[in-house]
Amino acid sequence: MSKTMIVTGASRGIGAAVATVASAKGVNLMLNARSEDALNELARSLGVDPTRIVVVAGDVSNEQVCDRIVATAIERFGGIDVVVNNAGILDPIGTLDTVTADDWVRNLMVNVAGPVLLSQRAIQFLRERHGCIINISSGAAVKAVRGWSAYCTSKAALNHFNRMLAAEFPEITAIAVSPGMTATDMQVMVREQGEGRMPREEHQRFIDAHRRGELRSPDAVARVIVALGLSAPREMSGEFVTVDDPRVTSLL
């Protein structure tokens, strides 16, 4: 029986790459992002049996959207094996005294409440199949990057939520993953909008990494995420890992 994977933030970047890698392995896909057109375009581009892919557009910080994602996956595929909580935002960039409260809270809603709501809806089905939740985190979860207070805080919260999933639900495997610097739209945003809103040396670090070609490709990160989702050992549950962790790369 083919496994079923939910991927949020699937319209571009790491999410789209995860969908591509997983589809090549015969995985059924429930794809989510805010743009329905982009999701449908991705689904068509994968060139696989359309009965293996379903899309639900909407913001994962909305409870009704999470309800629809899970209900649609169950209706179409009969179960859920993997949830990849990938949808996330960097905004706002700026120190706490220069950003709006609404933007700060919006970051927490997408980066923390979204994974919480979707995991809550999916957990009973994941327990039935001893499934896996992959929470896409960041090195910023354990490093204070000036100008990224909302993002750093949200990813730290996501890491601890991941630990709580492992503690409360031993039937599943929950892993938080740091992709490292990856060639996504978020990196473009940092380079284009970080000047004057981040310390000069910190902003320059991202520019230099891009110039030197040091960014990982979304495909390389996606291969790790899919491998973890499909075959991570249970003893890794609750951990925060990097994509180059030897225990992770050994699964490829």
> Which of the following is catalytic: 61, 119, 137, 138?
137
* 151 among known catalytic residues: yes
Q: Which of 64, 41, 66 is nearest to 53 (CA)?
A: 41
Q: Is the per-residue pLDDT at 128 higher than 80?
A: yes
- Whole-number average pLDDT of the chain: 97
* 250 among known catalytic residues: no
Q: Is the per-residue pLDDT at 127 higher than 90?
A: yes
Give per-residue pLDDT as tens, 206-237: 999 999 999 999 999 999 999 999 999 999 99
Q: Which of 26, 51, 27 is nearest to 7 (CA)?
A: 27
> Which of the following is catalytic: 61, 151, 154, 237?
151
> Which of the following is catalytic: 23, 155, 178, 237?
155
Share of the chain above pLDDT 70, in %: 100
pLDDT of residue 223: 98
Tokens of 13: 């970047």
Amino acid at the residue 128? E
Give per-residue pLDDT as tens, 46-80: 998 999 999 999 999 999 999 999 999 999 999 99
Q: Which of 204, 192, 194 is nearest to 147 (CA)?
A: 194
pLDDT of residue 142: 97
Superfamily (CATH) of domain 4-181+218-249: NAD(P)-binding Rossmann-like Domain (3.40.50.720)
Domain ranges of the chain: 4-181+218-249
Give the contacts of 103 (CB within 8 A, at least 6 positions apart): 91, 92, 150
pLDDT of residue 116: 98
pLDDT of residue 1: 76
Give per-residue pLDDT as tens, 155-209: 999 999 999 999 999 999 999 999 999 999 999 999 999 999 999 999 999 999 9
pTM over the 0.85 mark = yes
Give per-residue pLDDT as tens, 87-123: 999 999 999 999 999 999 999 999 999 999 999 999 9
